[in-house]
Amino acid sequence: MTTARKPETSLPFLDATVRVRYAETDQMGVVYHANYLVWLEVGRVELMRSLGAEYKQMETADDCHIVVVEAHCRYHKSARYDEVLRIRTRVSEAHSRSIHFQYEVWRDADNQLLATGETKHVICGKDGRPKHLPEKYRDLFTTTAPPCEPA
């Protein structure tokens, strides 16, 4: 039986930025809630890239798909059109067949926390069946600390 490979101390966050586009807002210029999940993905992909695990390469070369099985987002304050947001992402847990990520969405202009979230992912082959995360990626998600900027 494989146990969780939870870091003894949490890995630092990696920051990615996005600018709120007009298409992501309602008539009042407030971001529609589902767009936060898209931004969490931006953060996740950039974190993985910074760790040396390019998602496209994982899929094509290693038949390793990271499937979202649970997503949670808590909204604290609204984001608005044309604001620059900082998506902070880190790995919170890594198991042999799953990875959990944590997120924070901050508004750059006033350093306000807008949302927090987490996603849980199962490692699957292209057939959709769960599989073990290939060894070459396992340590990346538990021991490598990506560069990060302070909040």
Q: What is the CATH number of the domain that holds 47?
A: 3.10.129.10
- Is 148 contained in some domain? no
Number of domains forming the structure of the chain: 1
Q: Which two tokens stand for residue 53?
A: 């695990």
- Is 2 contained in some domain? no
pLDDT digits (tens, 9 = 90+) for 39-70: 999 999 999 999 888 889 999 999 999 999 99
- Is 56 contained in some domain? yes
Is residue 9's pLDDT more than 70? no
Q: Which domain holds residue 136?
A: 14-142
| 68: nearest Cα among 140, 124, 12, 13 | 124
HSE-up of residue 49 (Cα within 13 Å, Cβ side): 9
Q: Which two tokens stand for residue 127?
A: 């057939």
pLDDT digits (tens, 9 = 90+) for 131-143: 999 888 888 887 5
**Can you give the pTM of this predicted structure?**
0.85
| 81: nearest Cα among 117, 38, 27 | 27
The residue that leads in pLDDT, 109 or 10, is 109
Across-strand partners of 17? Answer: 86
pLDDT digits (tens, 9 = 90+) for 73-101: 999 999 999 999 999 999 999 899 999 99
